[in-house]
Every structure is written in structure tokens, then in C-alpha cells.
Amino acid sequence: MNVPAVMLLIHLTHIHLKALETSWVEGGVRCPLGQFPCGNTSECLPQVLQCNGHKDCPNGADERQCGDNIGWADLFARTLQKTNPVDQYFLNECLLQEFPESCDCIQTDVECVEVSLQDVPSLSPNVTWLSLRSNEIRVLSDFVFSEYSALERLFLQNNSLHFISKHAFSSLHNLKRLFLSENLISFLSPGVFGDLNQLEWLMLDHNPLSSLSQDTFTGLQSLMYLSMVNTSLQQLPHPSFCQHMPALDWLDLEGNQIQTLNYSILKTCSKLEVLLLIDNRIRTIPENTFQSLWKLAELDLSRNRIRELPKNTFKSLSKSLLKLNISHNPLLRIHPSHFHHLTHLQSLALEGIEIADIQTKVFLPMKNLSHIYFKKFQYCSYAPHVRSCKPNTDGISSFEDLLANMVLRVSVWVMALITCFGNLFVIGMRSLIRAENNLHAACIKVLCCADCLMGVYLFFVGVSDVKFRGQYNRNALLWMESAECRTIGFLAMLSSEVSVLLLTYLTLEKFLVIVFPFRNLRPGKFQTGKNC
């Protein structure tokens, strides 16, 4: 149990909280920094009660607008709205002359789901929507769709596709969305998508692709959304990934084995708005990597192996980035200038990252930040201007700030008791036994008293721990400001200073006695020493 450390912590927290007591204005309502108004009322509630799943404002405003839809969720909703006009005709009639019996047909849409098809069935040429999901198709041979040039959406997920011939998709000039997820595709010939000039979505998730060349994507000049989750990719095609996909807006590469990312790979991806690289093996990110991505709004680098980030990595994204996730990386250090430029950022996730030298100035430049995610609850107090900070108190005894665990809590009480009773006992015994050296006896009594004060201090720390358990943060400011806190702080300080001084005095005296034994020989000296 390190008494001075606990003391120091209390005082540092105290100083820190004091420093944050500047005013905070939002929507005309004045709240102290670290607090946020209850909707349009003048009531203020601390950060920790915002979005904690419990209504604390009388009007419940603290639980409103808590969802973090920043980034792709928002963009996706907008994209869908744009490209998905509500169908005006509720016509269930089939407009095709020919389609397999096992399939369903509505207007020009054909659905053949889980019907054990082994080949692409023959259909009328004006089919626009074809789902062959969950069948047993193994091979797509050349020109297999060449008659269906009216096709706009083609679903081939969850088949056993392992070979796609180079001209399989030829003449699908109107295709907008192509789903090839959950197959066994390990190779895509260069130019296989060459005719898909209108393609906007391409889903290749869960295929054992492992490698790709830049020419695989030739012809995809309208592609906006490319999803390659869990495709065992070791490397992004280089020298430049988006060379044939100039409109690429959204790239999902979650769950691959990508190790390098650099400027030249992303150079041509200047339209990119969402880049997801979750769960890869990226170790380093050169400073200029994102320099060409001037539209990037969401960047997710979580669950990689990044140990160090150059200071200006995100600098070029300062005008665009709204959401950044670098959680679960073994980052050694978070430098203030990492986020310095990200003034538009609204959501920042730093889960699972130990921030040794956390400072308020790291987060303050991000004025528009509304969601922040940390490893520890206690970091939240360093971002008091952010409304929603996770984790909040739920499930955590928040006094853990001071008494981090059970061992610490128990030791506070044990030490308090031992210190108090031990010292009282010594004082009592000393008073009973006739002292031979009065000065010395007095010294030791004072020393005991001082020590006793430390016991009292610990006792109070323990009591306030129990008192504020589970809601420490709510009371932290009040407690730090209170007279009791200051008084016991003073007692602790007094105790240690008196102890140090007295011990110095006693040690010095003893030293002199040993060095000059005869000059200072007095009866009783060594006897006294035994009791010390």
C-alpha cells in the first residue's frame, strides 16, 4: 500500500478537475465543462450520466440522440435512399415467358433460392433481377449470362462456385449489383469484370481469394462499393488499388491478412469515403498513407498490429474525417498531435488502448466530437467536452479511480486499523513506562501521533470509498472541493512531513552517537533506540 501514491492521486485528480471548471455553452444553456444540458431546459447533467441507459433528466433528454450513426451507417442510409426509390407498382404478375418451375417470378424478377440448382437456368432475356442464392452451382462458364443483358442485380451467394471463366459476365452491361459472397472462389482472372461498366456494388465476402491483381478490376469504372470481408487477402494489389475503380467510395477489407498499406496503394482511391480495415495484420502506417483520400469520412483500423503511428498520419484527413476507430491495436503511445487536426471528427474509438500519459489537450482540439470510446472509464474525465463517453459507470465501481481493486480496498482498511491501533498502543505503553530520556520519549510520541494521523487519513479514504461506491464520478468534484477532503489531505501531508522530519532528526542523532560514541555517551540512549 503506497500511501503517498494514493495521496498524490487524490490531489492530482483534484487539481485536474479544478482546471476543467471553465464554462461550457451549448444551445444557449450554460453548463460547466463536463456537463451537458437536458435538451432545451437549463438543467445540466454530468457526462457520465449521458447515454448510460438510464433516464436521469426529468424529460429524458440525456438518453436521446445517443446512437453513433456517424460514418458509414449514415452514408449507407443516404445511399439507399438515393438508389432505392419506393416501388410504385404493386404488381405481382410475372412478365417473363420462360422461367424454371422451382423458381418464383414477380414482374421481371426471378428468385431461385435453395433449390439445388447446379447450373444457371434458362430464362427469358428481359429478366432484370435474378437470385440464385444458396444453390449448388460450381462453375460459371463463358457467356453463361450473355442473353440476360437486361440484368441489374445478380445474386450468387452461398453456392459452391470455385471457377469463374474469364467471359462469364460478358455483356451484362446493365448490371448494377453482383453478389458472389460465400463461395469457394480462389482466383479471379484479370478482366473477368470487364463488361460490367455499370456495376456499382461488388460483394466478394468469404471467399478464399488470397491474392488479386490490379487488373482483376478492369472495367469497373462505376463501382462504388467493394466488399471483401474474410477473403484471405495477403496484400492489396499494387502499385495502385483503385486504378480501374475511379468511383470507389466504400471499401470493406475486414478480416484479411493485409500487412502493408501505403500511399502508392491508395493513391488512386481519391473518391473513397469509407475505408474499413478491421482485423488485418497492418504493422506500420507511413505518415503520407492517406494523403490522397481527401473525401474519407470513416476510417477503421481496429484490431490490427499497429504499435506506432507517425504524428501526422491523419493530418491530411482533417477536413473530411468524421469517424475514426483505432481500437485494439498494441499502440505504445498516443501523441497529442495525432488528433490535433481532426476538427470535424465526431466519433473516436480508442478501446483497448492504454494511454499512459493521457492529457486533456489531446482531445480538446476535436470540438465536434460527440462520441468517444476508451479502455477505461477514468479516461472519460480527460474528454469532458464529449457528450457520450464509453465505458461509463455501468457495472464498474467507479471509485476504482482511487482504489483500483479489492486488494487496495482491503489494504486501506487493514493499514488504517494497524496504523491507528499500533500507534495508540505505543503511545499508551510509552506513557506507562517511565522514560529515561524525556526528549526522546516525546519525540517518539509525536512520531506516533503523526503516524496515527495517516491512519485517520486512510480511514477516511476507506469511508468515502464505501460512501461513493458506484457513483464516485458523480460526486468526485464535490468531494474534491469539500472541506473534509482538504482537511484529511492536510492531515496526511502533515503526518508525512512530521514523520520525515522526526525520523531525520532521530537518525542524525544516532549517527552522531555512533561516530562520536564517547562525546555523546549518555545513559539510556541505546535503550531508547530499541523501541524505535
Residue nearer to ligand NAG on the CB measure, 68 or 451: 68
CB of 268 to ligand NAG, least distance (A): 13
CB of 5 to ligand NAG, least distance (A): 33
Residue nearer to ligand NAG on the CB measure, 70 or 488: 70
Strand partners, 35: 46
Strand partners, 349: 325, 373
- Residue entry with cell 450554460: 30
What is the SS3 string spanning 289-348? CCCCCCCCCEEECCCCCCCECCCCCCHHHCCCCCEEECCCCCCCCCCHHHHCCCCCCCEE
Residue nearer to ligand NAG on the CB measure, 131 or 327: 327
- Residue entry with cell 468469404: 206
Q: What is the DSSP letter of 94?
A: B
E strands in 63-199: 104-106, 109-111, 129-131, 139-140, 153-155, 163-164, 177-179
Q: Cβ contacts of residue 26 below 8 Å, gap of 6+?
A: 36, 37
Question: 143 in the Ramachandran plot: left (φ > 0), alpha (ψ -120 to 50) or beta?
Answer: left
Find, among 432, 405, 424, 436, the residue nearest to 528 by Cα.
436
Question: 167-170 contacts: CB < 8 A, separation 24 or more?
Answer: 167/142, 167/143, 168/140, 168/141, 168/142, 168/143, 168/144, 168/192, 169/140, 169/145, 169/193, 169/195, 169/196, 170/142, 170/143, 170/145, 170/146, 170/194, 170/195
What is the SS3 string spanning 199-252? CCEEECCCCCCCCCCHHHHCCCCCCCEEECCCCCCCCCCCCCCCCCCCCCCEEE
Which residues of the shown chain bind ligand NAG in the complex (CB under 6 A)?
40-41, 68, 95, 108, 114, 124-126, 134, 158, 206-208, 230, 235, 238, 260, 262, 264-265, 278, 302-303, 325, 327-328, 343-344, 347, 349, 351, 367-368, 373
Q: Cβ contacts of residue 143 below 8 Å, gap of 6+?
A: 167, 168, 170, 171
CB of 83 to ligand NAG, least distance (A): 22
Residue nearer to ligand NAG on the CB measure, 207 or 268: 207
- Residue entry with cell 474499413: 276
CB of 478 to ligand NAG, least distance (A): 27
**Which three cell numbers mark 287?**
505518415
Q: How far is Cα 69 from Cα 323, in angstroms, rounded to an integer?
A: 10
Q: How far is Cα 521 from Cα 436, in angstroms, rounded to an integer?
A: 14
CB of 370 to ligand NAG, least distance (A): 9
Residue nearer to ligand NAG on the CB measure, 283 or 525: 283
CB of 469 to ligand NAG, least distance (A): 29
Residue nearer to ligand NAG on the CB measure, 146 or 262: 262
Terminal-to-terminal C-alpha distance of the chain: 22
Say whether 169 sits in a helix, a strand or coil.
Answer: coil
Residue 157 is inside which H or E element, if any? Answer: none
Find, among 59, 132, 74, 65, the residue nearest to 99 by Cα.
132
CB of 86 to ligand NAG, least distance (A): 20
Q: Cβ contacts of residue 240 below 8 Å, gap of 6+?
A: 214, 264, 265, 266, 267, 268
Residue nearer to ligand NAG on the CB measure, 186 or 222: 186
How many C-beta neighbours within 10 Å does residue 35 have?
21
Residue nearer to ligand NAG on the CB measure, 124 or 475: 124
Residue nearer to ligand NAG on the CB measure, 279 or 465: 279
Q: How far is Cα 444 from Cα 497, in angstroms, rounded to an integer?
A: 15
CB of 350 to ligand NAG, least distance (A): 9
Residue nearer to ligand NAG on the CB measure, 343 or 360: 343
CB of 271 to ligand NAG, least distance (A): 20
CB of 242 to ligand NAG, least distance (A): 14
CB of 141 to ligand NAG, least distance (A): 21
CB of 2 to ligand NAG, least distance (A): 34
Residue nearer to ligand NAG on the CB measure, 125 or 190: 125
CB of 181 to ligand NAG, least distance (A): 9
Say whether 130 sits in a helix, a strand or coil.
Answer: strand
Residue nearer to ligand NAG on the CB measure, 42 or 520: 42
* Helices of type H across 57-168: 72-83
Residue nearer to ligand NAG on the CB measure, 305 or 367: 367
